[in-house]
Amino acid sequence: PDYTVTVDPDRTGPSINDRMYGVFFEDINLAADGGIYAELLRNRSFEFLPVDNPAYTGLTGWTTGAEGGGSGTATTVDDNARLNERNRTYLRLALASPDGGRYGVTNAGFHTGIALTAGARYDFSVWARTDAPDGTPLAVTLHDPNGQPLGGALTRTVRGDTWIRYAGTLTATRTTDAARLSVRAGGTGTLRLDMVSLFPRDTFKGRPNGLRRDLAEKVAALKPGFVRFPGGCLVNTGSHHGYDAASGWPRARSYQWKETVGPVETRATNANFWGYNQSYGLGYYEYLQFAEDIGAMPLPVVPALVTGCGQNRATHDEELLRRHIQDTLDLIEFATGPVTSTWGGLRAEMGHPAPFRLTHLAVGNEENLPDEFFANFVRFRSAIEAAYPGITVISNSGPDDAGVTFDRLWERNRATGVPMVDEHYYNSPTWFLQHNRRYDDYDRAGPKVFLGEYASQDNKLFNSLAEAAYMTGLERNADVVRLASYAPLLANVDEVQWRPDLIWFDNDESWGSTSYQVQKLFMNNVGDRVVPSRATGKVVRPQPITGAIGLSTWATSARYDDVRVTAPDGTVLFEDDFSTGADGWTPLANRGAWSVVDGGYVQSDTAAQDTLVKAAEIATSDYDLTVRATKLAG
């Protein structure tokens, strides 16, 4: 069809926030440990707990072994000999090799193993103590799964029964994604080890305790205006009540930023909402540093103590609430306070005397009990605004489930006069195409919108196109939508809790999805202001599908064969008989029968089905199509 687009550059539309498009980082899909945090060893501090996953133990990621006739036993222990109060469990080796040989442990890294590049250097370190009067000899080696060496060995002698850090560098002799690191000790006595670490020297911007370069560079290439972190459901779920009665130590707890700063060996490990244990090696300092390194505004999210994410609990513990409010004030001091302040001083000690440029902070993530959330939120907000009037405090609206809770939270947000509200939604591509005008009617005098999480469900080109189309609607309403971030950002192919995701990776490779390219296009080309425009021509209106299958039928999980989708002018957009073509239809693929679930979604992931999903999505939105198919069953 012929369209005319009329653009009037002299008319002024809303200005667009330079920082409008950003990224949302959450430790989901192994995004941090085993992901962007460059540490190569899994469970380096022997802290894993069986929360959510009974298979986890203090020795997850490790195996024991001996060489040269050595022997011993290995136990993980949390007792008074611990490294410190947060990093509690350590490895105790009872060594029994009086006549030579060695005994110890081997770490297999994440999934396939440790990724090494030939010629690259790797920094090893360990905290250790021994009761052997003459010290304990330690040998550290990189090798393949069969024990073949992959780098020079490192030897150290551990002396004295107090914790000391031992370190050295290993150079890889081969490129692999399946290396192992072994730490073996000789002699007799009790050797205690903790924080066994192996880091590539080559991190993003060469930062110590830094980020995996390829992943950080992919995020940086987006040129994001902001980084929202550290979650998501990860932030506000878990136990707010701190200490688990049985262990005396919190097991799965909400994100407490103070556990994530200071020397890495004093940071906690947490069994997080996404079913695995995360170290806090990547903590608040590293997030703030990363945001600064890529020219983005840091945007932390703190819990308001009303869990969403399916848990829907609120705290009524006044003391705990007061502590979290104070923690939030301390967090702002950590990011922006002078070096003479307590928390600004810690930031300086960690290597950043100058303040970070923190201007926005979100309180609550999908905390969708309106009364309870607002009771807490207003107290956070007034404390923050009183102490730091320059900080914009962002409220939340729960997940947009098109339900009462979302509306009630929005009513309260409006009534309370909050400056900005965080919205989240994950919907079908059709939804995104149909809701391009969502923000056209938002109250211009009301709170601004921070679209903190959105994505069209699935990782296909059509999803990305739908997102791009939708983003034109965000931008047209740039006076209301001030910030927007796709979610989630990162996914390890071997451990996926959520899809779609923007950047995928394994131990040594990474790649962006088509949505990554869309985000990059928008982020790299943020306009100054909207120029009003008008399109005229034949307008295609959404029509019901005609033919053998109607929309309601598509929405079942029945099985079909012989599918053809035809446009009004007779053009066949898609057809597939899912057989060898004996009936005269063009066989696009031989997939057998397939099933369609929920509004045109196909369960498995094949090229022909991609096309069908696309056809079905179009059919349910903008075109008058004929869809024919033979129903097999269901």
Of the pair 113, 488, the CB lying nearest ligand AHR is at 488
Neighbour count for residue 301 (Cβ, 10 Å)? 25
Of the pair 425, 554, the CB lying nearest ligand AHR is at 425
What Cα–Cα distance (Å) separates residue 77 from each residue in 167, 406, 437, 444, 615?
23, 46, 58, 59, 58
Please work out, in degrees rounded to the nearest 5, the angle formed at the alpha carbon of residue 156 by the alpha carbons of 349 and 282. Answer: 35
Of the pair 105, 487, the CB lying nearest ligand AHR is at 487
Taken in order 448, 453, 458, 463, the sign of the CA dihedral is positive
The neighbouring-strand residues paired with 279 are: 269
Of the pair 239, 266, the CB lying nearest ligand AHR is at 239
Q: How far apart are CA 238 and CA 221, in angstroms?
A: 34
Of residues 26, 47, 286, 366, which has the active-site annotation? 366
Write down the least CB distance from residue 334 to ligand AHR, Å: 23
In this structure, what token pair is assigned to residue 99? Answer: 């006549």
| Type of residue at 629 | A
Q: Show the beta-strand stretches assigned E in 210-283.
A: 226-229, 269-271, 277-279
| Type of residue at 95 | L
The contact set with ligand AHR (CB under 6 A) reads: 26, 28, 231-233, 309, 365-366, 399, 424, 453, 487-488, 498
Closest C-alpha among 163, 168, 189 to residue 103: 189
Closest C-alpha among 34, 96, 32, 38 to residue 64: 96
Write down the least CB distance from residue 488 to ligand AHR, Å: 4
Q: Is 385 a catalytic residue?
A: no
Burial of 396 (0-12, 13-18, 19+ CB in 10 A): buried
In this structure, what token pair is assigned to residue 515? Answer: 């949505």
Of the pair 47, 453, the CB lying nearest ligand AHR is at 453
Write down the least CB distance from residue 238 to ligand AHR, Å: 13
- Residue whose C-beta lies closest to ligand AHR: 232
Of the pair 52, 144, the CB lying nearest ligand AHR is at 52
Write down the least CB distance from residue 475 to ligand AHR, Å: 22
Residues in contact with 367: Cβ distance below 8 Å, sequence separation at least 6, in sequence order: 236, 303, 304, 306, 307, 308, 373, 396, 398
Taken in order 373, 375, 378, 380, the sign of the CA dihedral is negative
What residues are labeled active site?
Answer: 366
